[in-house]
Structure 1
Amino acid sequence: MNDGPAVGTVLADAPLLDIKGKNTSLSRLAGDRVLVLLVYEGAASPTAVRHLLDFRDATMAFEKLGARIAAVSADEPSAAAFLKTERGLGFTLACDPEKKALREWGLLDPATGEVRESLFVLGRDRGIKTRSMGKLTDADKMLLFIRRGGAKGATQAQPSAAARVGGFFAKAAAAVRHALRTPGVVR
């Protein structure tokens, strides 16, 4: 079985779609920053959603380190857009419904064609600095890796005003949703 791309490999700048169905690419997701790239099965996977929520809650910490988070799935853009809105995800979701990029990156199970959940920290050159294949690695471990200099090029940049406001509203929306679902909360 293919073990996926190795540390040191530069991921191809394959075409993707944003949540509006417009063309984007890996280099656009990263910009000139270190990129934490989550590859997940899709919005229908509860495990994948929990993983995305872990990174949602750490978005500001990654921003402070000069890193950006993005997630790619084989979902259609409308499914990713719904997930982003419903779960208050403050980072970019991209889609590869035809699985061209995922195949090129070696992230499809050869036997089933299913997406292999993966996590990568990519340097500014899109080179893989660390990876986690087929198992979920929490956000704290990736933050520690970046803090310790594992993704050279990340800096102690301050988050943009949009990121600060977006993070605030995402957390406020999550708190309201939780309060509305919790029995015994005064309404």
Structure 2
Amino acid sequence: MSDRLAVGDPAPDFTLPDSDGNRVSLADYRGRKVIVYFYPAASTPGCTKQACDFRDNLGELGEAGVDVIGISPDKPAKLAKFRDAEGLNFPLLSDPEREVLTAWGAFGEKQMYGKTVTGVIRSTFLVDADGTIEQALYNVRATGHVAKLRRDLRI
């Protein structure tokens, strides 16, 4: 089980390929707030609902100075298919080795249908403009999650 991040921790830096194979780094977002969220698998019902909620709220988040990045263990080709099918308008990054997921505490043991399994822990982080964790939310629900973030951010 990886260690969990807490408010005030420095956000672990990363550089990962996006759905087109371009390298994207957390450092690219310095100077703006960014929501980094981790999800188990592209094109599954819960992950699709969550991604579409971010898509539908991206304009207002952006106006408030908040960007969004989604990260999963999926390969770039699967992410591109997911992006295109759902009209997603923010970067989806590929972490097949689960190194970034682990560094952020978003990979490890979790409960699924009453059993303990190892996998991606649906997690969302708000990183401030200086690269510090402002919110660390683990085991979030796919449905209603973006609305809660908007309330927390007063957007």
Deviations 1:95-152 (A, max 9, x none): 111111111222111475411110111101221111221122522221222238xxxx
2:120 aligned with 1:115: yes
| Cα separation, 1, equivalents of 2:18 and 2:130 | 21
Per-residue CA deviations over 1:21-50 (Å, capped at 9, x if unaligned) read 23222222x242100111101114311111
Aligned-pair RMSD on alpha carbons? 1.9
The answer on 1:48 being equivalent to 2:53 is no
| One-letter amino acid of the structure 2 residue matched with residue 11 of structure 1 | A
Indicate the residue corresponding to 1:127 in structure 2: 132
Confirm or deny: 8 A CA contact 2:102 2:108 kept in the other structure.
no
Structure 1 Cα separation of the partners of residues 91 and 37 of structure 2: 10
In the alignment, the residues of structure 2 paired with residue 122 and residue 103 of structure 1 have an alpha-carbon distance, to the nearest angstrom, of 17
TM-score, with length taken from structure 2: 0.85
Superposition deviation, residue 59 in structure 1 = 0.6
Q: Distance in 1 between matches of 2:101 and 2:91?
A: 17
Q: CA deviation at 1:20?
A: 1.6
**What amino acid maps onto 1:82 in structure 2?**
K
Identity of aligned residues (%): 28
Is 1:121–1:130's contact at 8 Å kept on the other side of the alignment? yes
- The 8 Å contact of residues 13 and 25 in structure 1, kept in 2 or not, is answered as yes
Residue-by-residue CA offset, 1:54-93 (whole Å, 9 max, x unaligned):
1111111101111111111111001111111110111111
Tell whether 2:68 aligns with 1:69: yes
Q: Which runs of 4+ in 1 moved over 3 A?
A: 110-113
Contact 1:55 1:138 in 2 (8 A): no
> What is the one-letter code of the residue matched to 1:99?
R
Query: Whose relative contact order is higher, 1 or 2, with alpha carbons under 8 Å and at least 6 apart?
Result: 2
Please name the residue that 1:36 is paired with: 35
Alignment partners' CA distance in 2, 1:79 and 1:68:
22
More helix by share: 1
**Which has the higher Rg, Structure 1 or Structure 2?**
1
The aligned counterpart of 1:143 is: 150
In the alignment, structure 1 segments of 5+ residues that lack a partner are 149-187
**Post-superposition offset of 1:3:** 6.1
* Pairing 1:1-187 to 2, within 5 Å after superposition: 4-28=4-28, 30-110=29-109, 112-136=117-141, 138-147=145-154
Aligned amino acid, residue 142 of structure 1: L
Which ranges of structure 2 fall in alignment gaps of 5 or more residues? 110-115
